Amino acid sequence: MQVLYFAWVRQKVGVSGEEVSPPPEVADVAGLVRWLSARSPGHAAAFANAGSIRAAVNQDFAAPDHRLSPGDEVAFFPPVTGG
Amino acid sequence: MTPRVRVQEAPFDLGAESAALTAGREDVGAVASFVGLCRADDGLAALALEHYPGMTERAIAGIVAEACARWPLSGCTVVHRVGRIRPGEPIVLVLTASAHRAAALESCAFLIDWLKTGAPFWKREEFADGRGERWVEAKAEDDAAAARWARAGAGDVAA
């Protein structure tokens, strides 16, 4: 599973992306957030306030209960500020 | 109608984009435009715009498709810049063309409202006076502006 980070989420995690293989019990976006948070202090800082993070799965916005598959591209980022 | 959607670092030319949208057409009675510019708020030196390549184009295409489903458009252009943008420079362009003004004006407003809340761009403000930088936070009024276009039975254009 490819995980991508953008904006201050990327800065806190310290990398723009990583390949991860979460265990089968990580079933949805919220579960992946909990699992990623334990990977490093940077991850923990990035995900400390899950309410301020948005997610996309396979390049579509996704809710915390969105189910995940091993080949998914999952991205985490702050609320968007373009335009 | 094939929308023109571009994400680029280079500035854009409103006149040239508008001319390209209507070249050879005799059915267009109205072109509406929106240009977003970088303001020098609080001593801002520059904005750095980051995006999610791939998802950005996909999200904008979805928003444009929704506009085309709601209004009879004969043309549509969306150009969004990324990278470093200084005060006074353009950031985003939305052009809509239609036979009549209401469709052009309304769809143009819809597109920029949804671009602000539904496309994966992030702005970082850079300051010259040693105050460093900060990420722009999303504004509740932008969500409200996008929400006013919601309608019963419409699919989410940006979830």
Q: What is the CA radius of gyration of chain B?
A: 16
Own/partner long-range contacts of A54-57 (Cβ < 8 Å, ≥24 apart): A54/A78, A54/A79, A54/A80, A55/A29, A56/B52, A56/B55, A56/B120, A57/A29
pLDDT of residue A39: 96
| Domains of chain A listed by start with CATH number | 2-77 (3.10.20.30)
In angstroms, the separation between the Cα of residue A21 and the nearest Cα of chain B is 22
Burial class (CB in 10 A: 0-12, 13-18, 19+), A41: exposed
Least confident of A67-76, B74-83, B98-107, B141-150: B141-150
Mutate: best of A4, A5, A66, A80, partner B, most B CBs <10 A: A80
Q: Topology of domain B4-15+29-129, per CATH? A: Aldehyde Oxidoreductase; domain 3 (3.90.1170)
Structure tokens belonging to residue B94: 């939305």
pLDDT of residue B158: 45
pTM above 0.90, yes or no: yes
Using a CB–CB cutoff of 8 Å, tell me whether A44 touches chain B: no
Query: B143: which strand partners?
Result: none
User: What average pLDDT does this structure show over B65-69?
Assistant: 96
A7 and B51 within 8 Å at the Cβ level: the answer is no
Give the C-alpha distances (Å, rounded to integers) separating B12 from A13, A34, A82, B81, B119.
Answer: 34, 43, 17, 8, 19
Q: Which residues of A touch B39 (CB under 8 A)?
A: none
ipTM of the complex: 0.95
User: What average pLDDT does this structure show over B91-97?
Assistant: 98
Q: For residue A79, which of A61, A65, A67, A66 has the smallest C-alpha distance?
A: A61
pLDDT of residue A50: 85
**How would residue B129 be classed by pLDDT, with cut points 50, 70 and 90?**
confident
**How would residue B1 be classed by pLDDT, with cut points 50, 70 and 90?**
confident
Dihedral sign computed on CA atoms, order A46, A48, A49, A54? positive
Residue B155 has pLDDT above 80, yes or no: no
What amino acid is encoded at B39 in this protein?
R
User: What average pLDDT does this structure show over B57-75?
Assistant: 96
**How would residue B151 be classed by pLDDT, with cut points 50, 70 and 90?**
confident
In angstroms, the separation between the Cα of residue B152 and the nearest Cα of chain A is 20
Of B91, B121, B124, which has the smallest distance from its Cβ to A80's Cβ?
B121
Report the share of chain B in percent with pLDDT over 70.
Answer: 95
Of B50, B52, B116, which has the smallest distance from its Cβ to A83's Cβ?
B116
Per-residue pLDDT tens for A26-72?
Answer: 999 999 999 999 999 999 999 998 889 999 999 999 999 999 999 99
Using a CB–CB cutoff of 8 Å, tell me whether A7 touches chain B: yes
CA distance B159 to A47: 21
pLDDT of residue A22: 97
The residue ranges of every structural domain in chain B are 4-15+29-129
In angstroms, the separation between the Cα of residue B51 and the nearest Cα of chain A is 8
pLDDT of residue B76: 97
Q: How many residues does chain A have?
A: 83
